[in-house]
Structure 1
Protein backbone atom coordinates (compact mmCIF):
# COMPACT_ATOMS: atom_id res chain seq x y z
CA UNK A 1 0.00 0.00 0.00
CA UNK A 2 1.29 3.46 -0.91
CA UNK A 3 0.42 6.69 0.87
CA UNK A 4 1.04 10.32 0.03
CA UNK A 5 0.41 13.34 2.23
CA UNK A 6 0.22 17.06 1.64
CA UNK A 7 -0.40 19.81 4.13
CA UNK A 8 -1.37 23.43 4.40
CA UNK A 9 -2.53 25.83 7.07
CA UNK A 10 -5.12 28.50 7.65
CA UNK A 11 -6.10 30.91 10.41
CA UNK A 12 -9.66 31.20 11.66
CA UNK A 13 -11.77 32.08 14.68
CA UNK A 14 -14.53 30.03 16.28
CA UNK A 15 -16.34 29.27 19.48
CA UNK A 16 -17.90 26.03 20.69
CA UNK A 17 -21.46 25.82 21.92
CA UNK A 18 -22.24 23.48 24.82
CA UNK A 19 -18.58 23.31 25.81
CA UNK A 20 -18.80 24.74 29.34
CA UNK A 21 -15.32 26.23 29.34
CA UNK A 22 -13.16 28.96 27.89
CA UNK A 23 -13.60 27.65 24.32
CA UNK A 24 -17.22 28.83 24.44
CA UNK A 25 -15.78 32.31 23.94
CA UNK A 26 -14.64 33.52 20.54
CA UNK A 27 -10.99 32.63 19.97
CA UNK A 28 -8.70 31.73 17.08
CA UNK A 29 -6.29 29.07 15.88
CA UNK A 30 -3.60 28.72 13.29
CA UNK A 31 -4.84 25.39 11.97
CA UNK A 32 -2.56 22.89 10.26
CA UNK A 33 -4.21 20.43 7.89
CA UNK A 34 -2.74 17.19 6.57
CA UNK A 35 -4.52 15.06 3.97
CA UNK A 36 -3.53 11.46 3.29
CA UNK A 37 -4.22 9.48 0.11
CA UNK A 38 -3.72 5.70 -0.03
CA UNK A 39 -3.77 3.18 -2.83
CA UNK A 40 -1.94 0.16 -4.21
CA UNK A 41 -1.75 1.08 -7.91
CA UNK A 42 0.77 3.57 -9.28
CA UNK A 43 0.16 5.50 -12.49
CA UNK A 44 2.34 5.33 -15.61
CA UNK A 45 4.72 7.87 -14.07
CA UNK A 46 5.23 5.72 -10.98
CA UNK A 47 3.15 7.98 -8.75
CA UNK A 48 0.08 7.30 -6.66
CA UNK A 49 -1.17 10.84 -7.26
CA UNK A 50 0.29 14.11 -8.43
CA UNK A 51 1.12 16.10 -5.28
CA UNK A 52 0.26 19.40 -6.94
CA UNK A 53 -3.28 18.27 -7.83
CA UNK A 54 -3.97 17.30 -4.21
CA UNK A 55 -2.31 20.41 -2.81
CA UNK A 56 -4.27 22.69 -5.17
CA UNK A 57 -7.55 21.09 -4.10
CA UNK A 58 -6.65 21.41 -0.43
CA UNK A 59 -5.72 25.08 -0.80
CA UNK A 60 -9.00 25.73 -2.60
CA UNK A 61 -10.94 24.23 0.33
CA UNK A 62 -8.96 25.83 3.15
CA UNK A 63 -8.92 29.15 1.32
CA UNK A 64 -12.67 29.38 1.99
CA UNK A 65 -12.01 28.94 5.73
CA UNK A 66 -8.98 31.22 6.05
CA UNK A 67 -9.48 34.38 8.13
CA UNK A 68 -13.16 33.69 8.83
CA UNK A 69 -15.28 33.11 11.88
CA UNK A 70 -16.08 29.45 11.28
CA UNK A 71 -19.35 29.85 13.20
CA UNK A 72 -20.58 32.02 10.32
CA UNK A 73 -20.32 29.07 7.90
CA UNK A 74 -23.73 27.42 7.83
CA UNK A 75 -22.28 23.93 7.25
CA UNK A 76 -20.91 23.83 10.82
CA UNK A 77 -24.31 24.54 12.40
CA UNK A 78 -22.72 27.02 14.84
CA UNK A 79 -20.38 24.38 16.32
CA UNK A 80 -17.14 24.12 14.32
CA UNK A 81 -15.16 21.58 16.31
CA UNK A 82 -11.88 20.26 14.92
CA UNK A 83 -13.66 16.98 14.17
CA UNK A 84 -16.28 18.76 12.09
CA UNK A 85 -13.62 20.81 10.32
CA UNK A 86 -11.80 17.59 9.36
CA UNK A 87 -15.00 16.09 7.94
CA UNK A 88 -15.82 19.34 6.13
CA UNK A 89 -12.41 19.35 4.45
CA UNK A 90 -12.78 15.67 3.52
CA UNK A 91 -16.24 16.26 2.01
CA UNK A 92 -15.17 19.37 0.11
CA UNK A 93 -12.09 17.64 -1.31
CA UNK A 94 -14.19 14.72 -2.54
CA UNK A 95 -16.42 17.22 -4.36
CA UNK A 96 -13.40 18.87 -5.99
CA UNK A 97 -11.55 15.59 -6.67
CA UNK A 98 -14.30 12.95 -6.99
CA UNK A 99 -11.76 10.42 -8.29
CA UNK A 100 -10.46 10.22 -4.70
CA UNK A 101 -13.68 8.69 -3.37
CA UNK A 102 -12.95 5.17 -2.16
CA UNK A 103 -14.03 2.46 -4.57
CA UNK A 104 -12.01 -0.75 -4.68
CA UNK A 105 -9.17 0.11 -2.28
CA UNK A 106 -6.59 -0.21 -5.05
CA UNK A 107 -7.03 3.11 -6.81
CA UNK A 108 -5.99 6.20 -4.83
CA UNK A 109 -8.55 7.34 -2.28
CA UNK A 110 -8.68 10.13 0.26
CA UNK A 111 -7.95 8.17 3.40
CA UNK A 112 -7.60 10.72 6.20
CA UNK A 113 -7.77 14.41 7.04
CA UNK A 114 -5.93 15.65 10.13
CA UNK A 115 -6.75 19.04 11.62
CA UNK A 116 -4.38 20.41 14.25
CA UNK A 117 -5.65 23.27 16.40
CA UNK A 118 -2.29 23.34 18.16
CA UNK A 119 0.90 21.34 17.79
CA UNK A 120 -0.41 18.83 20.33
CA UNK A 121 -4.18 18.72 19.60
CA UNK A 122 -5.37 16.88 16.49
CA UNK A 123 -8.69 15.61 15.17
CA UNK A 124 -8.81 13.10 12.33
CA UNK A 125 -11.51 11.97 9.92
CA UNK A 126 -10.80 8.71 8.05
CA UNK A 127 -12.41 6.77 5.26
CA UNK A 128 -11.25 3.18 5.71
Structure 2
Protein backbone atom coordinates (compact mmCIF):
# COMPACT_ATOMS: atom_id res chain seq x y z
CA UNK A 1 0.00 0.00 0.00
CA UNK A 2 1.27 3.46 -0.92
CA UNK A 3 0.30 6.60 0.96
CA UNK A 4 0.82 10.29 0.34
CA UNK A 5 -0.07 13.21 2.56
CA UNK A 6 -0.85 16.78 1.55
CA UNK A 7 -0.91 19.43 4.27
CA UNK A 8 -3.16 22.47 3.79
CA UNK A 9 -3.19 25.41 6.23
CA UNK A 10 -6.16 27.70 6.71
CA UNK A 11 -7.78 29.96 9.29
CA UNK A 12 -11.35 29.68 10.50
CA UNK A 13 -13.66 30.91 13.22
CA UNK A 14 -16.36 28.96 15.00
CA UNK A 15 -18.18 28.34 18.23
CA UNK A 16 -19.63 25.18 19.67
CA UNK A 17 -23.29 24.86 20.58
CA UNK A 18 -24.33 22.84 23.65
CA UNK A 19 -20.82 23.24 25.05
CA UNK A 20 -19.83 24.50 28.49
CA UNK A 21 -16.54 26.35 28.35
CA UNK A 22 -14.63 28.93 26.35
CA UNK A 23 -15.28 27.21 22.99
CA UNK A 24 -18.95 28.17 23.32
CA UNK A 25 -17.78 31.70 22.44
CA UNK A 26 -16.76 32.89 18.99
CA UNK A 27 -13.06 32.26 18.48
CA UNK A 28 -10.63 31.30 15.74
CA UNK A 29 -7.96 28.77 14.85
CA UNK A 30 -4.96 28.56 12.57
CA UNK A 31 -5.62 25.05 11.36
CA UNK A 32 -3.82 22.50 9.26
CA UNK A 33 -5.61 19.75 7.38
CA UNK A 34 -3.57 16.70 6.47
CA UNK A 35 -5.19 14.71 3.67
CA UNK A 36 -3.86 11.16 3.38
CA UNK A 37 -4.45 9.33 0.11
CA UNK A 38 -3.70 5.65 -0.39
CA UNK A 39 -3.51 3.17 -3.23
CA UNK A 40 -2.30 -0.37 -3.70
CA UNK A 41 -0.91 0.58 -7.11
CA UNK A 42 0.79 3.63 -8.56
CA UNK A 43 -0.38 5.31 -11.73
CA UNK A 44 1.63 5.33 -14.98
CA UNK A 45 3.74 8.21 -13.57
CA UNK A 46 4.63 6.24 -10.44
CA UNK A 47 2.30 8.26 -8.18
CA UNK A 48 -0.69 7.70 -5.95
CA UNK A 49 -1.75 11.16 -7.14
CA UNK A 50 0.00 14.35 -8.14
CA UNK A 51 0.29 16.75 -5.18
CA UNK A 52 -0.61 19.56 -7.59
CA UNK A 53 -3.97 17.88 -8.30
CA UNK A 54 -4.73 17.74 -4.59
CA UNK A 55 -3.81 21.40 -4.27
CA UNK A 56 -5.88 22.51 -7.26
CA UNK A 57 -9.00 20.67 -6.08
CA UNK A 58 -9.02 20.31 -2.30
CA UNK A 59 -6.97 23.37 -1.33
CA UNK A 60 -9.02 25.51 -3.69
CA UNK A 61 -12.24 24.23 -2.09
CA UNK A 62 -10.89 24.87 1.42
CA UNK A 63 -9.72 28.37 0.42
CA UNK A 64 -13.08 29.19 -1.17
CA UNK A 65 -15.32 27.73 1.54
CA UNK A 66 -13.51 27.43 4.88
CA UNK A 67 -10.53 29.79 4.97
CA UNK A 68 -11.17 33.02 6.91
CA UNK A 69 -14.76 31.93 7.37
CA UNK A 70 -17.06 31.41 10.34
CA UNK A 71 -18.01 27.72 10.46
CA UNK A 72 -21.38 27.40 12.16
CA UNK A 73 -23.94 24.73 12.87
CA UNK A 74 -27.10 25.29 10.84
CA UNK A 75 -28.99 25.69 14.16
CA UNK A 76 -26.79 28.54 15.40
CA UNK A 77 -28.81 31.74 16.00
CA UNK A 78 -25.84 33.77 14.71
CA UNK A 79 -26.68 32.67 11.16
CA UNK A 80 -29.43 35.31 10.92
CA UNK A 81 -27.13 38.05 12.23
CA UNK A 82 -24.32 37.16 9.83
CA UNK A 83 -26.76 36.94 6.94
CA UNK A 84 -28.20 40.38 7.76
CA UNK A 85 -24.68 41.83 7.86
CA UNK A 86 -23.53 40.04 4.70
CA UNK A 87 -20.73 38.27 6.55
CA UNK A 88 -19.11 35.14 5.15
CA UNK A 89 -19.98 31.88 6.88
CA UNK A 90 -20.18 28.17 6.10
CA UNK A 91 -23.11 26.17 7.43
CA UNK A 92 -22.52 22.69 8.72
CA UNK A 93 -25.21 20.14 9.55
CA UNK A 94 -23.28 19.31 12.73
CA UNK A 95 -21.49 21.29 15.41
CA UNK A 96 -18.25 22.64 13.86
CA UNK A 97 -15.91 20.57 16.02
CA UNK A 98 -12.48 19.54 14.79
CA UNK A 99 -13.87 16.02 14.33
CA UNK A 100 -16.74 17.22 12.14
CA UNK A 101 -14.53 19.55 10.10
CA UNK A 102 -12.17 16.64 9.42
CA UNK A 103 -15.15 14.58 8.25
CA UNK A 104 -16.38 17.47 6.07
CA UNK A 105 -13.03 17.68 4.25
CA UNK A 106 -12.83 13.87 3.97
CA UNK A 107 -16.30 13.73 2.38
CA UNK A 108 -15.40 16.47 -0.10
CA UNK A 109 -12.21 14.64 -1.12
CA UNK A 110 -14.14 11.40 -1.50
CA UNK A 111 -16.80 13.12 -3.64
CA UNK A 112 -14.01 14.28 -5.93
CA UNK A 113 -12.96 10.62 -6.40
CA UNK A 114 -9.71 11.02 -4.47
CA UNK A 115 -8.50 7.77 -2.84
CA UNK A 116 -8.74 9.42 0.58
CA UNK A 117 -7.79 7.30 3.56
CA UNK A 118 -7.99 9.89 6.32
CA UNK A 119 -8.13 13.58 7.11
CA UNK A 120 -6.42 14.94 10.20
CA UNK A 121 -7.39 18.43 11.31
CA UNK A 122 -4.85 20.13 13.57
CA UNK A 123 -6.83 22.74 15.51
CA UNK A 124 -3.70 23.87 17.34
CA UNK A 125 -0.06 22.79 17.58
CA UNK A 126 -0.99 20.22 20.23
CA UNK A 127 -4.52 19.04 19.34
CA UNK A 128 -5.94 17.24 16.35
CA UNK A 129 -8.92 15.18 15.26
CA UNK A 130 -8.85 12.51 12.58
CA UNK A 131 -11.60 11.09 10.38
CA UNK A 132 -11.04 7.83 8.50
CA UNK A 133 -13.07 4.99 7.10
TM-score range, shorter chain: 0.7 to 0.9
Matched, 1:73 2:90: yes
Map Cα deviations across residues 53-108 of structure 1 (whole Å, 9 max, x no partner).
Answer: 1122221221110111101422244x20001100111111222x22x2xxxxxxxx
Asked if residue 84 in structure 1 is aligned to residue 100 in structure 2, the reply is yes
Gaps of 5+ in 1: 101-108
* Aligned partner of 1:118 among 110, 116, 124: 124
Aligned residues: 116
Tell me the distance in 2 between the aligned counterparts of 1:94 and 1:56: 15
Q: CA RMSD in A?
A: 1.2
More strand by share: 2
TM-score normalized by structure 1? 0.85
Q: Counterparts of 2:92 and 2:16 in 1: how far apart (Å)? A: 14
Runs of 5+ in structure 2 lacking a partner?
Answer: 73-88
| Mapped contact 1:33–1:114 kept (Cα < 8 A) | yes
Tell me the residue number matched to 1:94: 110
TM-score, structure 2 as length reference: 0.82
Note the C-alpha offset of 1:15: 0.5
Runs of 4+ in structure 1 off by over 2 angstroms are 72-77
Matches within 5 A, 1:6-21: 6-21=6-21
The 5-angstrom pairing of residues 1-80 of structure 1 reads 1-63=1-63, 64-71=65-72, 72-77=89-94, 79-80=95-96
Give me the whole-angstrom Cα distance separating, in 2, the residues matched to 1:76 and 1:121: 23
